[in-house]
Amino acid sequence: MCKADISFLLNPLVQAPVTPEQGPTASLLHRLSPSMTSPERSPASFTCRRLLVAPYIAPLEKRRSLNKRARPTMSMAALCSECFSSSDEELSDASTAASAPHPRKTHTPPCQVEGCKNLSVSRGLCVRHGGGSKCTEPGCNKRAKLCQRCFQHGGYKMCTEPGCNKKAKRYGHCWSHGGGHICEAPECTKVSTQGGFCWAHGGGNRCKHEDCNRRSYQKYDYYCMRHAKFITA
């Protein structure tokens, strides 16, 4: 058609505007998103589209709101007090565990003698009932004290006090020079024997004879010197 014709001048051709191609995703967002809609849309259509988008947006908003609520805020004073309380509890638990008494573990069997609660030393017997090393002196069955000998056969040390020729009992001294315990009786300064008392206050072994309270001797089979004469006679 020639542009000089009267029909073209009265009815000119209007070129249609070219719209950019939109993919299915962009067109869907354009239809669903309220921000991309023109302000000339009616409120009814906007409300309808809002109802369509609400199921997809509401869970995300709820999750964000729950996350914000789940974060508790603590002051610095409360945080410090909680740290100090937890450390005090740990220290108290550690001190309790350290102060708890540990049971004594022993692998030594008890003495085989019936009714004896002592631990065995050798041959299944305690020292009192024949356990331990014996004196090497021929014919002696006593317990060895020092150098494999008993007290009577040289298993002892001499008193370290200058000029004293007695046998040392304890701490390198004899009874007279402090090698023993003091009697437990009030105002008594004598050395105690068996039982914590001196001979005058009932300490030591006594005569096995009936109604006799005299001092006994091991060499007399635990009789006093007076009754030992009648036993040996």
**Burial class (CB within 10 angstroms; exposed 0-12, middle 13-18, buried 19+) of 222:** middle
Tell me, yes or no, whether 103 lies in a domain.
no
Count CB-CB contacts under 10 A for residue 201: 17
**Burial class (CB within 10 angstroms; exposed 0-12, middle 13-18, buried 19+) of 223:** buried
pLDDT at res. 35:
46
Tell me, yes or no, whether 180 lies in a domain.
no
Tell me, yes or no, whether 207 lies in a domain.
yes
User: How many whole angstroms separate alpha carbon 133 and alpha carbon 140?
Assistant: 12
- Domain extent at residue 219: 203-232
pLDDT at res. 123:
80
User: How many independent structural domains does the chain possess?
Assistant: 1
Tell me, yes or no, whether 212 lies in a domain.
yes
Helices then strands, counting H and E runs in the chain, come out as: 5, 0
DSSP, collapsed to helix, strand or coil, labels residue 229 as helix
Tell me, yes or no, whether 227 lies in a domain.
yes
Tell me, yes or no, whether 190 lies in a domain.
no
Tell me, yes or no, whether 215 lies in a domain.
yes
User: How many whole angstroms separate alpha carbon 161 and alpha carbon 181?
Assistant: 17
Tell me, yes or no, whether 177 lies in a domain.
no
DSSP, collapsed to helix, strand or coil, labels residue 119 as strand
Give me the tens of pLDDT residue by residue for the chain, a chain 233 residues long: 555 566 665 665 555 555 555 445 455 555 555 444 444 444 555 565 555 555 555 555 555 655 555 555 556 666 666 665 655 556 566 556 555 566 666 677 888 888 888 888 888 888 878 788 888 888 888 878 778 888 788 888 888 889 998 888 777 888 778 777 888 888 888 878 777 888 788 788 888 888 888 888 878 888 888 888 777 65
